[in-house]
């Protein structure tokens, strides 16, 4: 995840009205995220009550190499952010915001995953893990479980993500999840920041592989720099078409 101050990749003007979007979604999708249990970890829907324990996770200085905002100033400041995200909808009502806290086997929070559904078919995804969990397979397991959930329960057909060019660990994870480099033509009306790469996944992978325990996952690729952060830009909670800070 690269959760920092950038214009959110919203649909081009007039692409769909918020009321039409929500009408299409409500036919078979719930705005309320479900608890997702998979071998080795649990994805727990994020609420304001998570602020205290997530403050410790997000105070890890190692995760901010590719973030252009500081760690949360206080538990109360983080709680305010989580209050907004707990509503599950953008203020304009044209996006669904879904966030899950990643809990490893002993119940400890390790980070979170995020999906911003911007149309009946498309979702932008993001994630962040505390540095002590990098290279353990948790990022792959958590993202795989979320992608499966979004494919099956929300009928998302295309997943999009951006990563900074130097963020090799996150790029390798995206590739491992079936994402491939895409051009800005795939997201008309949305500009990418300089130094960012766009990735897209158009077809679901074999769902039987998505709920493996971390110990059963393919080995993480060996990188020249094993301290590369495992994070992607997040897309919740930013005003349209201008810079903002979460």
Separation of alpha carbons 196 and 209, rounded Å:
29
- What are the C-alpha distances in Å from 149 to residues 9, 34, 142, 223? 22, 9, 11, 30
- Distance in angstroms (rounded) separating the CA atoms of residues 226 and 222: 7
Place of tokens 């895409």: 182
How far is residue 212's CA from residue 80's CA, in Å, rounded to a whole number? Answer: 34
The answer to whether residue 238 sits within a structural domain is: no
The number of distinct structural domains making up the chain is 1
Whether residue 83 lies inside any domain: the answer is: yes
Chain centroid offset of residue 164 CA: 15
Residue 159 counted as domain residue: yes
Q: Considering the domain boundaries, does residue 221 fall inside one? A: no
Residues 161-213 have pLDDT tens digits of 999 989 999 999 999 999 999 977 777 566 777 788 999 999 655 544 433 44
Q: Summarize pLDDT for 123-143 with one digit per residue, the tens.
A: 999 999 999 999 999 999 999
C-alpha 122: how far from its chain's center? 13
Note whether residue 239 is domain-resident.
Answer: no
CA dist 97 and 157 (Å) reads 17
Does residue 89 lie within any of the structural domains?
yes
* pTM score of the predicted model: 0.75
Burial class of residue 92 in the structure, from the number of CB atoms within 10 Å of its CB (0-12 exposed, 13-18 middle, 19+ buried): exposed
Gyration radius of the chain over CA positions = 17
Asked if residue 1 belongs to a domain, the reply is: no
% the chain with pLDDT above 70:
67
The residue range of the domain holding 167 is 18-216
Q: Which tens digit of pLDDT belongs to each residue from 26-74?
A: 554 556 789 999 989 999 999 999 999 999 999 999 998 877 678 999 9
CATH number of the domain at 126, please: 3.40.630.30
Least confident of 102-106, 117-121, 190-194: 190-194
- Asked if 213 and 49 count as a contact pair (C-beta separation under 8 A), the reply is no
57: in domain:
yes
Residue 218: Cβ-neighbour burial (10 angstroms; 0-12, 13-18, 19+): exposed
Cα distances (angstroms) measured from residue 109 to each of 57, 113, 182: 7, 12, 32
Task: Determine the longest span between alpha carbons in the chain, in angstroms.
Answer: 48
């Amino acid at each position: 995840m690269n959760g920092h101050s950038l214009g959110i990749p919203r649909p081009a003007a007039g692409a769909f009205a918020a009321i039409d979007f929500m009408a299409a979604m409500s036919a078979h999708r719930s705005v309320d995220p479900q608890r997702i249990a998979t071998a080795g970890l649990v994805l727990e829907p994020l609420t304001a009550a998570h602020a205290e324990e997530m403050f410790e996770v997000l105070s890890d200085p190692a995760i901010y190499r590719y973030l252009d905002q500081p760690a949360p100033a206080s538990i109360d400041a983080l709680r305010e952010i989580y209050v907004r995200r707990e509503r599950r909808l953008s203020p304009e009502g044209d996006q669904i915001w879904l966030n899950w806290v990643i809990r490893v086997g002993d119940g400890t929070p390790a980070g979170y995953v995020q999906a911003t559904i911007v149309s009946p078919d498309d979702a932008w995804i993001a994630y962040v893990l505390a540095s002590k969990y990098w290279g353990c397979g948790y990022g792959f397991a958590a993202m795989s479980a979320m992608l499966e959930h979004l494919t099956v329960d929300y009928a998302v057909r295309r997943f999009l993500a951006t990563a900074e060019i130097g963020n090799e660990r996150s790029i390798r994870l995206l590739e491992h999840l079936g994402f491939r480099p895409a051009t800005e033509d795939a997201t008309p009306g949305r500009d990418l920041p300089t130094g960012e790469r766009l990735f897209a996944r158009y077809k679901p992978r074999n769902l039987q592989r998505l709920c493996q325990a971390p110990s059963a996952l393919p080995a993480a690729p060996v990188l020249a720099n094993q301290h590369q952060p495992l994070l992607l830009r997040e897309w919740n909670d930013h005003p349209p078409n201008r810079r903002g800070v979460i």
